[in-house]
Amino acid sequence: MKILSKDTNVVNVSKAGPVFSINAPNGWRQIGINWFVFETYYDLAGMSNREKTLFFEAATVQDLGNPAQLNGVAGDLLAISDIMTSTPLTDNDLTQFTLVGNMMQSTFPSFDQVVYARNRVFVVDLDFAASGYFNLLSSNQLGSMQPTASDRVYVYRVVAIDANNTADNYTVLPARFLLQATAKEEPEYQYLMRLMRSYNLQNEPDVD
Protein backbone atom coordinates (compact mmCIF):
# COMPACT_ATOMS: atom_id res chain seq x y z
CA MET A 1 0.00 0.00 0.00
CA LYS A 2 1.24 3.47 -0.91
CA ILE A 3 0.05 6.98 -0.13
CA LEU A 4 0.55 9.27 -3.11
CA SER A 5 0.64 13.04 -2.54
CA LYS A 6 0.48 16.13 -4.76
CA ASP A 7 0.27 19.75 -3.61
CA THR A 8 -1.20 22.84 -5.22
CA ASN A 9 -0.02 26.38 -4.55
CA VAL A 10 -1.88 29.35 -3.10
CA VAL A 11 -3.53 31.62 -5.66
CA ASN A 12 -4.49 35.28 -5.32
CA VAL A 13 -6.82 36.88 -7.84
CA SER A 14 -7.69 40.56 -8.25
CA LYS A 15 -10.80 42.00 -9.87
CA ALA A 16 -10.84 45.47 -11.42
CA GLY A 17 -14.26 46.15 -12.87
CA PRO A 18 -15.15 43.09 -14.97
CA VAL A 19 -11.51 41.99 -15.37
CA PHE A 20 -9.98 39.22 -13.25
CA SER A 21 -6.21 38.67 -13.10
CA ILE A 22 -3.82 36.38 -11.20
CA ASN A 23 -1.19 37.89 -8.92
CA ALA A 24 2.02 35.79 -8.92
CA PRO A 25 0.69 32.72 -10.81
CA ASN A 26 2.74 30.06 -8.90
CA GLY A 27 1.68 27.42 -11.42
CA TRP A 28 -1.88 28.70 -11.81
CA ARG A 29 -3.34 29.85 -15.11
CA GLN A 30 -6.55 31.56 -16.18
CA ILE A 31 -9.25 30.09 -18.42
CA GLY A 32 -11.59 32.60 -19.98
CA ILE A 33 -12.86 35.39 -17.77
CA ASN A 34 -13.27 33.86 -14.32
CA TRP A 35 -11.86 30.30 -14.15
CA PHE A 36 -8.43 29.52 -12.68
CA VAL A 37 -6.62 26.18 -12.87
CA PHE A 38 -3.70 24.44 -11.21
CA GLU A 39 -2.75 21.10 -12.75
CA THR A 40 -0.22 18.38 -12.04
CA TYR A 41 -0.13 14.58 -12.12
CA TYR A 42 1.00 11.44 -10.35
CA ASP A 43 3.63 9.59 -12.40
CA LEU A 44 2.76 5.89 -12.27
CA ALA A 45 5.08 4.74 -15.07
CA GLY A 46 7.22 2.68 -12.68
CA MET A 47 4.23 0.54 -11.75
CA SER A 48 2.85 0.16 -15.26
CA ASN A 49 6.31 -0.82 -16.54
CA ARG A 50 6.17 -3.73 -14.11
CA GLU A 51 2.78 -4.69 -15.57
CA LYS A 52 0.87 -3.86 -12.43
CA THR A 53 -2.51 -2.26 -12.01
CA LEU A 54 -3.12 0.45 -9.43
CA PHE A 55 -6.12 -0.26 -7.19
CA PHE A 56 -7.36 2.80 -5.28
CA GLU A 57 -8.45 2.33 -1.68
CA ALA A 58 -9.03 5.91 -0.50
CA ALA A 59 -8.80 9.48 -1.77
CA THR A 60 -9.16 12.92 -0.23
CA VAL A 61 -8.06 16.54 -0.51
CA GLN A 62 -6.64 18.42 2.46
CA ASP A 63 -6.67 22.20 2.72
CA LEU A 64 -6.00 24.76 5.40
CA GLY A 65 -9.12 26.88 5.39
CA ASN A 66 -11.84 28.67 3.48
CA PRO A 67 -11.07 31.12 0.67
CA ALA A 68 -10.57 34.75 1.69
CA GLN A 69 -11.99 37.88 0.08
CA LEU A 70 -11.65 41.64 0.29
CA ASN A 71 -14.57 44.07 0.05
CA GLY A 72 -17.08 41.31 -0.58
CA VAL A 73 -20.79 41.54 0.19
CA ALA A 74 -23.37 38.93 1.12
CA GLY A 75 -24.13 36.70 -1.85
CA ASP A 76 -20.69 36.77 -3.46
CA LEU A 77 -19.93 33.24 -4.71
CA LEU A 78 -16.83 31.14 -5.40
CA ALA A 79 -16.60 27.44 -6.33
CA ILE A 80 -13.63 25.07 -6.06
CA SER A 81 -13.49 21.76 -7.95
CA ASP A 82 -10.78 19.24 -7.02
CA ILE A 83 -10.45 16.50 -9.64
CA MET A 84 -8.31 13.39 -10.06
CA THR A 85 -8.75 11.51 -13.35
CA SER A 86 -7.11 8.68 -15.27
CA THR A 87 -7.23 10.77 -18.47
CA PRO A 88 -6.16 14.37 -19.20
CA LEU A 89 -8.85 17.06 -19.38
CA THR A 90 -9.08 19.97 -21.79
CA ASP A 91 -9.90 23.50 -20.64
CA ASN A 92 -13.44 22.98 -21.92
CA ASP A 93 -13.72 19.76 -19.91
CA LEU A 94 -12.62 21.62 -16.79
CA THR A 95 -15.08 24.50 -17.12
CA GLN A 96 -17.92 22.10 -17.92
CA PHE A 97 -17.01 19.93 -14.95
CA THR A 98 -17.45 22.89 -12.57
CA LEU A 99 -20.94 23.40 -13.98
CA VAL A 100 -22.39 19.89 -14.46
CA GLY A 101 -19.74 17.46 -13.16
CA ASN A 102 -19.84 14.20 -15.13
CA MET A 103 -23.48 13.38 -14.52
CA MET A 104 -24.61 13.65 -18.16
CA GLN A 105 -23.82 10.93 -20.70
CA SER A 106 -22.37 13.48 -23.12
CA THR A 107 -20.09 14.98 -20.51
CA PHE A 108 -16.38 14.10 -20.52
CA PRO A 109 -14.84 12.57 -18.47
CA SER A 110 -16.97 9.50 -17.82
CA PHE A 111 -17.80 8.04 -14.42
CA ASP A 112 -15.02 5.45 -14.46
CA GLN A 113 -12.37 7.95 -15.60
CA VAL A 114 -12.90 10.17 -12.55
CA VAL A 115 -10.99 8.57 -9.71
CA TYR A 116 -12.17 11.18 -7.20
CA ALA A 117 -13.65 14.66 -7.33
CA ARG A 118 -15.00 17.15 -4.85
CA ASN A 119 -16.97 20.28 -5.68
CA ARG A 120 -17.54 22.96 -3.07
CA VAL A 121 -19.44 26.24 -3.26
CA PHE A 122 -18.58 29.11 -0.93
CA VAL A 123 -20.61 32.26 -0.26
CA VAL A 124 -20.09 35.50 1.64
CA ASP A 125 -22.54 35.34 4.54
CA LEU A 126 -24.41 38.41 5.79
CA ASP A 127 -23.42 37.80 9.40
CA PHE A 128 -19.72 37.19 8.70
CA ALA A 129 -18.99 39.35 5.65
CA ALA A 130 -16.64 41.52 7.70
CA SER A 131 -14.47 38.50 8.56
CA GLY A 132 -12.93 38.52 5.09
CA TYR A 133 -13.74 34.84 4.44
CA PHE A 134 -16.19 32.87 2.36
CA ASN A 135 -18.44 30.40 4.20
CA LEU A 136 -18.95 26.87 2.90
CA LEU A 137 -22.38 26.55 1.30
CA SER A 138 -22.18 23.01 -0.11
CA SER A 139 -19.70 20.15 -0.54
CA ASN A 140 -20.27 17.20 -2.87
CA GLN A 141 -18.08 14.27 -3.84
CA LEU A 142 -18.08 11.97 -6.84
CA GLY A 143 -15.82 9.49 -8.57
CA SER A 144 -15.54 5.78 -9.26
CA MET A 145 -12.23 4.83 -7.55
CA GLN A 146 -11.82 2.41 -10.47
CA PRO A 147 -8.37 0.80 -10.86
CA THR A 148 -6.14 1.98 -13.67
CA ALA A 149 -3.23 0.76 -15.78
CA SER A 150 -2.55 4.32 -16.95
CA ASP A 151 0.92 5.86 -16.58
CA ARG A 152 -0.60 8.90 -14.90
CA VAL A 153 -3.37 10.14 -12.68
CA TYR A 154 -4.10 13.77 -13.52
CA VAL A 155 -4.77 16.29 -10.77
CA TYR A 156 -6.72 19.53 -11.23
CA ARG A 157 -7.88 22.28 -8.89
CA VAL A 158 -10.33 24.65 -10.57
CA VAL A 159 -11.49 27.90 -8.98
CA ALA A 160 -14.57 29.50 -10.52
CA ILE A 161 -15.40 33.02 -9.32
CA ASP A 162 -18.82 34.50 -9.97
CA ALA A 163 -18.34 37.29 -12.51
CA ASN A 164 -20.96 39.41 -10.71
CA ASN A 165 -19.16 39.40 -7.34
CA THR A 166 -18.45 42.66 -5.53
CA ALA A 167 -15.22 41.47 -3.87
CA ASP A 168 -12.10 42.79 -5.58
CA ASN A 169 -9.53 40.31 -4.20
CA TYR A 170 -9.63 36.53 -3.65
CA THR A 171 -7.18 34.12 -2.01
CA VAL A 172 -7.47 30.33 -2.23
CA LEU A 173 -5.08 28.51 0.08
CA PRO A 174 -2.85 25.56 -0.90
CA ALA A 175 -4.21 22.02 -1.01
CA ARG A 176 -2.84 18.49 -0.83
CA PHE A 177 -4.32 15.71 -2.96
CA LEU A 178 -3.93 12.23 -1.44
CA LEU A 179 -4.44 8.80 -2.96
CA GLN A 180 -4.06 5.54 -1.07
CA ALA A 181 -3.42 2.75 -3.52
CA THR A 182 -1.99 -0.73 -3.97
CA ALA A 183 -0.22 -2.02 -7.08
CA LYS A 184 -1.26 -5.58 -7.95
CA GLU A 185 -0.75 -7.99 -10.81
CA GLU A 186 -3.85 -9.02 -12.72
CA PRO A 187 -4.43 -11.96 -15.06
CA GLU A 188 -2.69 -11.14 -18.35
CA TYR A 189 -5.85 -10.84 -20.45
CA GLN A 190 -7.56 -8.58 -17.93
CA TYR A 191 -4.47 -6.40 -17.59
CA LEU A 192 -4.04 -6.06 -21.37
CA MET A 193 -7.69 -5.04 -21.78
CA ARG A 194 -7.32 -2.42 -19.04
CA LEU A 195 -4.06 -1.17 -20.57
CA MET A 196 -5.68 -0.86 -23.99
CA ARG A 197 -8.61 1.07 -22.56
CA SER A 198 -6.26 3.44 -20.71
CA TYR A 199 -4.30 4.02 -23.91
CA ASN A 200 -7.41 4.66 -26.00
CA LEU A 201 -8.84 7.09 -23.45
CA GLN A 202 -5.61 9.10 -23.26
CA ASN A 203 -5.35 9.32 -27.04
CA GLU A 204 -8.90 10.29 -27.89
CA PRO A 205 -9.03 13.42 -30.09
CA ASP A 206 -10.03 16.64 -28.36
CA VAL A 207 -13.56 17.75 -29.18
CA ASP A 208 -14.39 21.36 -28.35
Give the pLDDT confidence score for residue 125 in this predicted structure. Answer: 94
Give the pLDDT confidence score for residue 162 in this predicted structure. Answer: 97
Give the pLDDT confidence score for residue 111 in this predicted structure. Answer: 83
d(CA 65, CA 126): 19
**How far, in whole angstroms, is CA 95 from its chain's centroid?**
11
d(CA 119, CA 137): 11
Give the pLDDT confidence score for residue 106 in this predicted structure. Answer: 52
* Neighbour tally for 176: CB within 10 Å: 13
Alpha helical stretches, state H, the chain: 45-49, 91-100, 188-202
d(CA 191, CA 149): 7
d(CA 147, CA 125): 40
Give the pLDDT confidence score for residue 104 in this predicted structure. Answer: 67
User: What is the pTM assigned to this prediction?
Assistant: 0.86
- φ/ψ (deg, to 5) at 35: -115, 140
pLDDT tens digits for the chain (208 residues)?
A: 789 999 999 999 999 999 999 998 999 999 999 999 999 999 987 665 556 788 899 999 999 999 999 999 999 999 999 999 988 999 999 998 888 888 765 566 788 889 999 999 999 999 989 999 999 999 999 999 988 878 889 999 999 999 999 999 999 999 999 999 888 776 554 555 545 555 555 555 444 4
